[in-house]
Amino acid sequence: MEQYYPYIKSLHLIFIITWFAGLFYIVRLFVYQIEASQKPSPDKEILGAQLKIMASRLWKIITWPSMILAVFFGVWLIYMRMFFLADAWMQVKLGFVVLLIIYQFKCHQIFKQLQNGVVKHSSNYMRLFNEVPTIILFAVVFLVILKDGTNWIYGTVGIIIFAILLMMGYKIYKRIREK
């Protein structure tokens, strides 16, 4: 079974990449759907219908299957290397994975609302919401690469600074859009 470890790890990484791609793009589609809902007819109906189709295909054909397969291959990897569960970095990483899965379910809730024509959030809220997986991605990559407890301090400070910079960038972008 050990000879298959690199193949399983490769599949895990491939599905992580497609999962994140789906998460990044679905929320952009939410932004466009919300903005389309505010347009006058017939643009509202034409754009709304097309964006619903795009979101549905992305969500059902790419994002959900990618999440399921990424988690499946991740569990398989943990099964093959159970000793990783004792490592603090792996426990923290799994915590971030749980947060990402919760984010996916929140996206699913928003997806269903928008598919039914219910708009509960602003496009600006969605732009900010779209940064959550970015922060999780940075955190997980640094955890997996560094694995060292001492470097976590720098990594944590770096993630906080990164999040602050994202928020500042968002505020600057919002001001530019409003002009």
Contact 142, 158 (CB under 8 A): yes
40: left (phi over 0), alpha (psi -120 to 50) or beta: beta
Longest CA–CA separation in the chain, Å: 60
Instruction: Find out whether 44 is annotated in a ligand binding site.
Output: no
Instruction: Find out whether 93 is annotated in a ligand binding site.
Output: yes
Contact 68, 50 (CB under 8 A): no
> Which of 136, 115, 119, 125 has the alpha carbon at shortest distance from 58?
115
The annotated binding site is made up of: 12, 93
Instruction: Give the residue numbers of the binding site for heme.
Output: 12, 93
